[in-house]
Amino acid sequence: QVQLVESGGGLVQPGGSLRLSCVLSGFTLDYYAIGWFRQAPGKEREGISCISSYDRSTYFADSVKGRFTISRDVAKKTVSLQMNSLKPEDTAVYYCAANLVTNRCSNSMVLHEYGYWGQGTQVTVSS
């Protein structure tokens, strides 16, 4: 059974850090680009970061560039999102998903290309 499970969310003060993990089961990281998305209340789901299985290249949305990093551990089947300098506007439910169309990351993240969505993990940035 193909499954992605996110963890690591929580409540953090502005300026703080969190590390989210996305653990895969039922398939290998070798063939899929993995993306992180987030959805704040009343807003559309936004693609914020992607890591390619083709060449390990990465993509970051402007809203998180310079603050977030993405990495993967093939042996552990885990993709991690390190989030630093968190802001209240980063508050959202964060999801990981696999790109079912390509193993590369483009300059944008097309929502309908992604599948095997996890259940999400809540990140709240507040003082």
Per-residue pLDDT of the chain (127 residues; tens, 9 = 90+): 889 999 999 999 999 999 999 999 988 888 899 999 999 999 999 999 999 999 999 999 999 999 999 999 999 999 999 999 999 999 999 999 999 999 999 888 999 999 999 999 999 999 9
The label of the residue with tokens 């993306």 reads: 35
3-state secondary structure at position 24: strand
